[in-house]
């Protein structure tokens, strides 16, 4: 609405709407990139969880009955897996309820101001995903503010709108603090640098944009650069996660299978 009002007042509504359409298109593309990075590991973990539950509740009980009939001492790994299977079979409702409770609890906590601030801060500190989310936040901030400034929206109003669309409480707080500093007469780059949320290169480019009177062009240039950075990060993340997820599946499922076959291997050795 702010952009449309500015466009109507300045007689440049067509230009503003064109910039708005470009912004929406790029914002949607950025969202798709982040989703594509998250879907793969979540899918693998989900498949592993289903396979493990199936083995614990259907496959391993069959082995447990067979081993009970043998009457032999079982290796420790086999005993642990059988106990886990017994617990999962008898208390499946507790496991399911606990999982649902954890998800609901985290979602409820995230809706609180303190909870969202804490979780958003932790997300930015994650080893791999944190870097990706930070790049996404920088791209979103510069794209939004660049579109607003180039459309004639005052910088203070632009910062207020940008803070609302940050998508991360840490970034939002940094933008609002920047707005307060700009209101007090400081440049845009100074409080951004003090926040430590934005990389030095971004702060330097914004400073150059302010000094040369081309802040909107510089913001859009930064946004384009970080869009490419997000592309690269998503590709690298996918390449890194694929072997890690394969190893994860192999360790979890392979560990269960080996644990159940250890008594059979021992029996074969004794027979020989």
* Per-residue model confidence as pLDDT tens digits over 108-153: 998 888 888 899 889 888 887 888 888 888 888 888 888 888 777 7
What was the pLDDT predicted at 71?
Answer: 67
Q: Is residue 116 part of a domain?
A: yes
CA distance readout (Å), 199 to 12, 31, 106, 133, 169: 34, 21, 30, 13, 17
Q: If 0-12 CB within 10 Å is exposed, 13-18 middle and 19+ buried, where does residue 190 land? A: middle
d(CA 75, CA 30) in angstroms, rounded, equals: 51
d(CA 215, CA 148) in angstroms, rounded, equals: 11
d(CA 143, CA 11) in angstroms, rounded, equals: 23
Task: List the pLDDT tens digit at each of the 272 positions of the chain.
Answer: 445 554 454 445 566 666 667 667 767 776 777 777 677 777 888 888 888 888 888 888 888 888 777 766 778 888 888 888 888 888 888 888 888 999 999 999 988 888 888 998 898 888 878 888 888 888 888 888 888 887 777 888 888 888 887 778 888 899 899 899 888 888 888 888 888 888 889 989 989 988 888 888 898 899 889 888 888 888 887 777 778 888 888 888 888 888 888 877 776 665 55
Q: Is residue 200 part of a domain?
A: yes
What was the pLDDT predicted at 10?
Answer: 44
pTM of structure: 0.74
What was the pLDDT predicted at 9?
Answer: 45
CA distance readout (Å), 216 to 19, 88, 154, 237: 12, 58, 12, 31
What was the pLDDT predicted at 105?
Answer: 93
Q: Is residue 8 part of a domain?
A: no
Q: Is residue 4 part of a domain?
A: no
Q: Is residue 3 part of a domain?
A: no
Give me the number of domains the chain comprises: 1
Q: Is residue 197 part of a domain?
A: yes
Q: Is residue 120 part of a domain?
A: yes
d(CA 77, CA 42) in angstroms, rounded, equals: 28
161: Cβ contacts below 8 Å, ≥ 6 apart: 2, 144, 148, 153
What was the pLDDT predicted at 16?
Answer: 60
Domain span at 199: 18-271
What was the pLDDT predicted at 104?
Answer: 93
d(CA 199, CA 139) in angstroms, rounded, equals: 12
Write the CATH number for 167.
1.20.81.30
């Amino acid at each position: 609405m702010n952009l449309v009002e500015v466009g109507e007042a300045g007689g440049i509504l067509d230009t503003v709407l064109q910039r708005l359409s470009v912004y929406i298109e790029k914002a949607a593309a950025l969202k798709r990139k982040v989703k594509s990075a998250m879907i793969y590991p979540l899918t693998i973990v989900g498949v592993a969880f289903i396979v493990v539950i199936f083995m614990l509740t259907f496959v391993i009980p069959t082995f447990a009955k067979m081993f009970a009939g043998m009457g032999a001492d079982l290796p420790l790994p086999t005993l642990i897996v059988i106990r886990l299977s017994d617990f999962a079979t008898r208390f499946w409702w507790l496991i399911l309820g606990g999982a649902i409770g954890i998800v609901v609890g985290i979602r409820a906590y995230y809706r609180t101001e303190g909870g969202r601030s804490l979780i958003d801060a932790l997300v930015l500190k994650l080893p791999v995903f944190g870097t990706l989310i930070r790049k996404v936040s920088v791209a979103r901030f510069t794209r939004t503010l660049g579109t607003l400034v180039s459309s004639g929206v005052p910088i203070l109003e632009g910062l207020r709108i940008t803070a609302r669309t940050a998508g991360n409480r840490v970034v939002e707080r940094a933008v609002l603090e920047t707005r307060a500093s700009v209101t007090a007469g400081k440049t845009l780059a100074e409080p951004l640098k003090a926040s430590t949320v934005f990389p030095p290169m971004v702060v330097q480019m914004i400073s150059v944009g302010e000094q040369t009177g081309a802040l909107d062009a510089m913001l859009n240039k930064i946004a384009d650069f970080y869009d490419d950075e997000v592309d690269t990060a998503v590709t690298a993340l996918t390449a890194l996660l694929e072997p890690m997820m394969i190893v994860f599946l192999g360790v979890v499922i392979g560990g269960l299978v080996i644990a159940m076959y250890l008594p059979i291997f021992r029996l074969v050795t004794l027979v020989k």
